[in-house]
Amino acid sequence: MQIDYGKPLPRISPDNAPFWEGCREGRLMLPTCEDCDAPHLPPGPVCPHCFSDRLVWREASGRGTISTFVVVHKAWFPAFAADLPYNVAQIELSEGPRLTATILDAERSDLFIGRPVTVVFLARDGIVLPYFRPATAD
Partner 1 sequence: MKPNAVIVGIGASEFGRSLPQSQLALGATALKHALADAGLEREDVDGLSLHLGWPLGSDYDRYAEAYGLDIRYVNQTWLHGRFTGQSLQSAAFAVSAGLADVVACITAVSFTRERGFLGGPGDVEGNREEGGSHGEAPPYGLTAPAGGAALGMQRYMHLYGATPEKLAAVPMSMRAHALRNERAIMRKPMTLDDYMTSRMVVDPLRLFDCSLINDGAVVALVTTEERARDLRQKPVRIAGMQGIRAGREEFIFAPRGMGINQQSGRQGPARAVDLEIYRMAGLERSDMAAFYTYDAFSPLVLFALERFGFCGPGEAADFVQGGRIGPGGELPVNTSGGLLSEAHVAGWNSIAEMVRQLRGTAGASQIPDARALQWGTCWGDGVILTS
Q: Point out which residues bind partner 1 (CB under 8 A).
A: 3-5, 7-11, 13, 40-42, 48, 67-74, 76-80, 83, 85-86, 88, 90, 92, 97-98, 100-102, 108, 112-113, 124, 129
Q: How far is the CB of 41 from Zn ion (least distance, A)?
A: 14
CA distance 136 to 129: 21
Cβ contact 101:89 at 8 Å: yes
Residue with Cβ nearer partner 1 (13 or 61)? 13
DSSP secondary structure letters along 7-74? PPPP---TTTHHHHHHHHTT--EEEEETTT--B-SS--SS-TTT--S-EEEEE---EEEEEEEEEE-S
User: Quick one: what does residue 101 bind among Zn ion, partner 1, none, with the CB cut-off 5 to 8 Å set by partner type?
Assistant: partner 1
User: Quick one: what does residue 47 bind among partner 1, Zn ion, none, with the CB cut-off 5 to 8 Å set by partner type?
Assistant: Zn ion
Which of positions 24-53 make contact with Zn ion (CB under 5 A)? Answer: 33, 35-36, 47, 49-50, 52
